[in-house]
Amino acid sequence: MIPQLRQKFDNLVWGDGLEKHGKLGHAAAVILRYGYGLIRDMVSGQITLRAMSLVYTTLLSVVPLIAFSFSVLQGFGVHNQLEPFLYDFLEPLGEQGAIITSQVIELVDNVKGGVLGGISLAFFIYTAVSMVQKMEESFNYVWYVAKRRSFARRVTEYMIVLLIGPVIIVVALGMIASLRSNTMVQFFLTSEAFGPILVATNKLTPYVLVTGVFTFLYMYMPNTKVRFKAALIGGLAGGFAWASLSAIFANVVVFSTSRQAIYAGFAVAIFTLIWLYLNWLVLLFGAQLAYYIQNPAFLRIGRREPRLSNAMSERTALNIMLFVGRAFRDPEKSITAAEISDQMQMPSITLMPVLLALEEGGLLAATEKEFLLPGKDMAAISLRDILSVVREQGETGSYRDPEWSGEIEKFGKSLDDAVLSTVGDRTLSDLLDD
């Protein structure tokens, strides 16, 4: 009975039954498919585990991150504007949110540059950077990216996020505050026609900021190219989910007086952990949606590990070397693994085993900026070498060579000879010339 129900449900979700009912049916089918895909990935457990891991990292790095942000903003003379932003973030915790905000700010005020020794300062910087690195790893997992940024890129780009991020937030908050105090805005607020609209817009402002932050993270953090449309849809969904959870969680905190009586002082810590976990879960939820928007072909199969057949591996290796060779011949072009993934419409995690095999075979090399280059002169890279990387190398093997039957040994050799006779003595350079 259960297999039959599952089959009917699959037909409802992935079949064309709903789409036959016009635009509304098509919209219902799209919502049902994306909802099913996201819930399936959540239930699988990996995304929830990564959200829990980010909660732990947040607890270690929250004070260093805020201290770092305060140091940056102090240079601009606007460091006092970060406290209201932190309070707004913890507002769903009710009165306890204000208490936690004041305690965190007090801890940050105690962190003086002159008081910290060299080891303590290095630890603060390390924990702040590790937070961003853990975020990148989680986003890379969602986007099937197996290779993270190089060390040089991580240091440079992480510091950009830590330095520019707080400034952008404070500038946005300052612009909003100046608009609210504008004489014309105050005039419209007193108007019966425009007043309610401006009040509603004022309440939506925090959610618009959250959507903007989410969209930026979805585009910037994964080590792959994310289209703006996919990031924006994920940001809108994440912002809406965050706003809804904030309202629900605030009511839960208000009406859970009995639980606070049981847990006493630990209730604050428990609610804070739950709130942090929900925030990270929403962030990863939006990232997963953005991935499926950009790669709808993977919506049905979900997070199953992609595997290539032998024939697909051979074609993939040849195609990778062809792209790299073309870019190398053009002095104005360069190519990365992410760009190859985009051109071939294959997730980078699928390409990565082939890329690593080509690198280990000396046929491919990568620069510090992650541009791919031929490992040696293209006239010296034979197509046989490229095929042998995926046909003969990379085997784990056993403690001894297998004993093939005579007929199988002979037949296998004839297959190998047929492949080699097809490619002949052609090189990558010859392939590019053709």
Tell whether the model's pLDDT for residue 287 goes beyond 60. yes
| Residue owning tokens 């990365």 | 336
Would you say residue 304 lies in a domain? Answer: no
DSSP state letter for 336? B
Q: What is the mean pLDDT of residues 320-348?
A: 87
Q: What is the mean pLDDT of residues 199-214?
A: 70
Residues in the chain: 434
Q: Write the pLDDT tens digit of every residue in 45-59.
A: 788 889 888 888 887
What are the tokens at 151?
């060390």
Would you say residue 102 lies in a domain? Answer: yes
Q: Both 197 and 225 in a single domain?
A: yes
Angle at 307 between CA 305 and CA 309, to 5 degrees: 170
Q: What is the CA radius of gyration of the chain?
A: 27
Q: Both 64 and 40 in a single domain?
A: no
- Exposure of 59 in the CB half-sphere (CA atoms within 13 A): 13
Both ends of the chain: CA-CA distance in Å?
58
Residue 213 belongs to what domain range? 46-298
Tell whether the model's pLDDT for residue 117 goes beyond 50. no
Q: Both 90 and 141 in a single domain?
A: yes
Please, which residues bridge with residue 379 across strands? none
Averaging pLDDT over each range in 94-108, 228-242, 289-303, which range is the top one? 228-242
Q: Both 72 and 98 in a single domain?
A: yes
Q: Which one of 298, 330, 358 terminates a domain?
A: 298
Cβ neighbours for 382, distance < 8 A, ≥ 6 positions apart? 423, 425, 426, 427, 428
Please, which residues bridge with residue 372 across strands? 366
- Residue 317: give its domain's CATH number: 1.10.10.10
Q: Which amino acid is at 221?
A: M
Which secondary-structure segment (H or E) carries 294? helix 266-294
Q: Both 292 and 316 in a single domain?
A: no
Which secondary-structure segment (H or E) carries 365? strand 364-366
Sign of CA pseudo-dihedral 138, 139, 143, 144: negative
Q: Which one of 230, 264, 298 terminates a domain?
A: 298
Whether the model pTM is above 0.85: no
Q: Rounded to an integer, what distance in angstroms lies between the CA atom of residue 205 and that of residue 251?
A: 21
Q: Write the pLDDT tens digit of every residue in 394-416.
A: 555 555 567 778 888 888 888 88
Q: Rounded to an integer, what distance in angstroms lies between the CA atom of residue 394 and that of residue 77?
A: 57
Which secondary-structure segment (H or E) carries 374? strand 372-374
Cβ neighbours for 290, distance < 8 A, ≥ 6 positions apart? 218, 226, 230, 231, 233, 234, 235
DSSP state letter for 77? T
Q: Quick one: which of 19, 44, 120, 41 has its CA closest to 298?
A: 41
Q: Rounded to an integer, what distance in angstroms lies between the CA atom of residue 23 and that of residue 40?
A: 26
Lowest mean pLDDT among 20-34, 259-273, 298-312: 259-273
43, 79, 125, 126 from 115: Cα distances, Å: 47, 19, 15, 18
Would you say residue 425 lies in a domain? Answer: yes
pLDDT of residue 113: 47
Other CB atoms within 10 A of residue 247 CB: 11
Q: Rounded to an integer, what distance in angstroms lies between the CA atom of residue 303 and that of residue 175?
A: 42
Averaging pLDDT over each range in 19-28, 172-181, 420-429, which range is the top one? 420-429
pLDDT confidence band for 311 (50 / 70 / 90) = confident
Would you say residue 327 lies in a domain? Answer: yes
Q: Both 40 and 131 in a single domain?
A: no
Q: Both 178 and 249 in a single domain?
A: yes
Q: Write the pLDDT tens digit of every residue in 214-266.
A: 898 898 888 888 899 999 999 999 888 887 887 787 777 666 655 555 555 56
- Residue 148, judged by CB atoms within 10 A of its CB (0-12, 13-18, 19+), counts as middle
Would you say residue 305 lies in a domain? Answer: no
Q: Both 204 and 231 in a single domain?
A: yes
Would you say residue 324 lies in a domain? Answer: yes
More confident residue, 419 or 394: 419
Instruction: Please report, rounded to a whole number, the percentage of residues in the chain having pLDDT higher than 90.
Output: 9
pLDDT of residue 259: 55
Would you say residue 366 lies in a domain? Answer: yes
Q: Both 39 and 58 in a single domain?
A: no
Other CB atoms within 10 A of residue 87 CB: 16
- Exposure of 120 in the CB half-sphere (CA atoms within 13 A): 9
More confident residue, 192 or 272: 272
Q: Rounded to an integer, what distance in angstroms lies between the CA atom of residue 168 and that of residue 188?
A: 28
What are the tokens at 432?
């590019």
Angle at 304 between CA 298 and CA 305, to 5 degrees: 110
Q: Both 235 and 286 in a single domain?
A: yes
Q: Both 237 and 364 in a single domain?
A: no
What are the tokens at 351?
């390409």
Tell whether the model's pLDDT for residue 209 goes beyond 80. no
Q: Both 226 and 340 in a single domain?
A: no
Question: Is residue 218 within 8 Å of 286, Cβ to Cβ?
Answer: yes
What are the tokens at 226?
């994310």
Q: Quick one: which of 396, 306, 317, 312 has its CA closest to 358?
A: 317
Number of domains in the chain: 3
Would you say residue 303 lies in a domain? Answer: no
Q: What is the mean pLDDT of the chain?
A: 76
